[in-house]
C-alpha cells in the first residue's frame, strides 16, 4: 500500500518560484501538502512491547527497519514511535525505542 494514496495535493504558484517555473516551462507545480503528524499517544506507547536501542553514528531508520522487521519500508514506524520524523532528528548516543511486533505497531500508527 502506498503512503501517498490519500495525500492531499496543493497547487503552488508562488511568485518567489517564478524564475524556476520559467526555467522549467511551467506556470505552477502540483505538490503533496505537508501532513500534520499525529504521534502515538503516551498510553498506547507504553502498551506496545519495545526494545531500547542506542543510536550510533552511521545508523539509519531504514536499516533498523530491515534488521528488526525484515523490510526497510517500515522505517516510518520507528520514526513515529520516537517522534523523530527523520534520522537528522536523532543524536548519536540517544536511546530510541523499536516496537518489537510490527503488526501491533501498525495498528496504532497511521
CA 8 → CA 20, 31, 69, 74, 95, distances in Å?
23, 9, 29, 22, 34
Domain ranges of the chain: 1-35, 42-108
> What fold does the segment set 42-108 form as a domain?
Membrane-bound Lytic Murein Transglycosylase D; Chain A (3.10.350)
Q: How far apart are CA 35 and CA 19, in angstroms?
A: 27
pLDDT tens-place values along the chain, 110 residues long: 566 777 788 888 889 989 989 999 999 988 887 766 667 777 877 889 999 999 999 999 999 999 999 999 999 999 989 989 899 999 999 999 999 999 999 988 86
pTM score above 0.75: no
Amino acid at each position: 500500500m502506498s503512503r501517498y494514496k490519500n495525500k492531499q495535493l496543493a497547487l503552488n504558484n508562488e511568485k518567489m518560484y517564478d524564475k524556476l517555473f520559467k526555467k522549467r516551462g511551467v506556470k505552477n507545480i502540483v505538490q503533496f501538502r505537508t501532513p500534520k503528524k499525529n504521534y502515538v499517544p503516551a498510553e498506547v506507547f507504553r502498551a506496545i512491547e519495545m526494545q531500547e536501542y542506542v543510536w550510533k553514528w552511521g545508523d539509519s531508520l531504514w536499516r533498523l527497519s530491515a534488521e528488526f522487521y525484515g523490510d526497510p519500508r517500515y522505517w516510518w514506524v520507528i520514526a513515529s514511535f520516537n517522534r523523530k520524523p527523520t534520522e537528522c532528528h536523532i543524536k548519536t548516543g540517544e536511546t530510541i525505542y523499536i516496537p518489537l511486533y510490527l503488526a501491533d505497531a501498525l495498528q496504532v500508527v497511521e
